[in-house]
Every structure is written in structure tokens, then in C-alpha cells.
Structure 1
Amino acid sequence: MSEPSNQPNLTPQFCFNQTALRDFLRISRGAIDDSIIQNLNALMKPAQMPWNSASTAGRQVRPGIRQPIDPQACRTFTNNVLFQSWQTRSDVLNYCAGVALDPNDPDLALKEVESAKERDRVIDERLDPYSGRYYPREARTELLANIIRNERSVEGIIRSRSWSIVSERCGDTGIGWEEALNTWRAEQEAHR
């Protein structure tokens, strides 16, 4: 069974390093969510009946009935691995979203100066039809905010898929992943 991801050292440099941020999210998702079926299969007990060669003598028309997973093992997995991993990724995304709101970003001031210069520039498009084009450079905080927005969207899709598989294999509790995660968070706060 996989272990939840360890939270990286959260600094603004980590957030602005797109490669490090995306690698952390990719590796965390790969270890837990992308391999959720294998993680759940690892929770199952070995077969109770010994192997019988007659079981392979004929073609199986309908798929075999899945062996149920022990409910306690499912709870342990979701509480100690799945939700813990989700919370770690949420903490990283929340921290980096806060960094993206930095009003003192030096790139933001540079962008404003460039925009002011561009407004004052005289353009004669008859001489150079491309001179009227201006592509303002995005400040690094704006780039980070876009990355965080995209990663949160991806996170929602991945969590929904993972939760549907957990619900199918461990028994559907009738609640969505957001409610289950919030319940787990409340329990964690109560134990502190």
C-alpha cells in the first residue's frame, strides 16, 4: 500500500518554481490517486479457497464477483493515506495561492511600467503593420495564480474519480468526496 506524500518545504521559491510544484503534485497523485485500484487491491485478503484447475476449464461469461474489502481496512486507507494525501496537496495549493496574491511582486511593477511605455508609444502601422502588437508580460504572481487555478480543477476531477472507485470497492456511503474530506478534517481538528 502506498504512503501519503510528505509535504514539501513551503516557501515562495517552491511555489514560483513551476517544475517543482507540478512535480510534487504529479508524484503525489501518481502514488495515491492514479494507482487507487492497486492500492485497494492490496487491502484484500488472499483467497480463502484453494486454487482449482477446473476454474480455468471453461470460459467465464460474466466477470467474477469481486471479493469485498474489509471495511476497517478501507477506513484506515482512506483516513491515513487518501485523505492525508489530499490534505497535503490542498495545503500546498492554498499556500501557493496565498503567495500568488502578493501585492509587492516586483514583476507587477515592471509590467505596469511596460504598459505605460506602450500606451505612450506612437505607432504608424503603414510603416510596420506589426508595430501595433503589444503582448504584455504576465507577472509571476499572475502565472502562479493561473497554475493554481488549473491544478485545483485537476485536483477536483482526480478526487471525484478516486472517490467513486473507493465508494464502489469499499461500499458506497452515499456522500461525496468533499463531504467525506470535510468530515475527516473535522475529526482531525477534534483530536488536536
Structure 2
Amino acid sequence: MLVTRSRGSQASRNTHPTASIEVPLVSLRSPSPNRRAVLASLGVALPAAAIVAPAAIAAAPAAHPDAALLAMEPRIAALVAEVDALCSARSRIEEACYAASGPAPDAPVFVRSDGSYERGLALFNDAMRAWRARHAEAAEQLGLESAEDAHGEADGRLLAACRELAAMPATTLEGLTLKARMTAHDGGTSGDIAPSILEDLIALGGQA
């Protein structure tokens, strides 16, 4: 609705349209006028991005209480895959080393009476030194030490990630379930995740 304020008479307004000023009227009965409609009547266009529908606000997802905890799962899964791959590579190199060096000599059988044990022990020690030398040479050629170092470093990273996960309190069922799944990868590392689940359950029980 528009109200016309005229500088002259009604006839003057009809005769000289430029002499009148049209001002949008906002009903005083509405406590919160539609600002978009008012601005549109004045020729001011609002960009679409500036208009946020209430439905869009309601649909915005809230941050999960255990978001940081849940984000650990893909990281630990990647570390587990890395450790498994490096462990397999190490095992293959170890098998190749044993194949190259041959079977280790058998220890002598203990015999008290004729001194054969002492002679056998001396022969065994000589054979064992020779076998160890062959095994060390094969290990150096095949890179066993590097494979062991790589496996150990990856296992250390998995250990650190499991300890980090255990230190995060779970406050939802999703968080507790994730921790329970991760205990399958924690047995050979820190072993801290399972006790942390009990601590989380006790803490949640205290909040009830």
C-alpha cells in the first residue's frame, strides 16, 4: 500500500505528477515488517545468497560430539594396512634368507660316557658360525634390516595412534562402538583402548 504526500492540491498532483513523492507504507500493526518487500518497493535487489530460508537453517547438520574420535578410524585403518603390508614383505625376505642359508645345524645329543658330546658340540659350534655367516650375507643382500626397520617404524605409528584414540573420551554409542572395533588392532600395540571403554562407560553412567 502506498500513501501519497502532495505538495499541492489534489488537482495539482494530477496535473504535475513529479510534484508528488510516493513512500511505501508499512503497517504499524506488524511488529516485524518484511524488510525484503520494503527494499524491493524501493528498487533495492537482495542477492540470493543473502537470503537464508528457515528450512535450510534447520537442515544444517550439528557437529557430532565424537567427531574427532570418529575421524581416527580411517587413519588407524590406513596404518593397519601399512603394518600388514610391511610385515608380509619382511616375512618374505626372512623366508628367502633361510632358503639361501640352508637349514640350521642340529644341536648335538648329550652323551656322558665317551666324550662324544664335547666333540659334537665343537662341530656344532663351527657349523652354527658358518650358517650364521651365510644367513647374514643373505640378509644383507636381500635388505632384511631395512624391512625390519620399516615394519618397526610403522608399528610405532600405529601404537601412537591407538594411544591417541584411547585418550579420547567417547560420549556417544558411535564413539564407543568405534573404540570396540579398534581393539582388534590394539592387541599387539598399546592395549590401552579396551580399558578406556570401561572408563568412558563409567563416566557416562555418572552423567545419567
| Same-fold status (TM-score > 0.5) | no
Compare the two structures and name the one with the higher strand fraction.
2
Compare the two structures and name the one with the higher helix fraction.
2
Which structure's CA Rg is the greater one?
A: 2
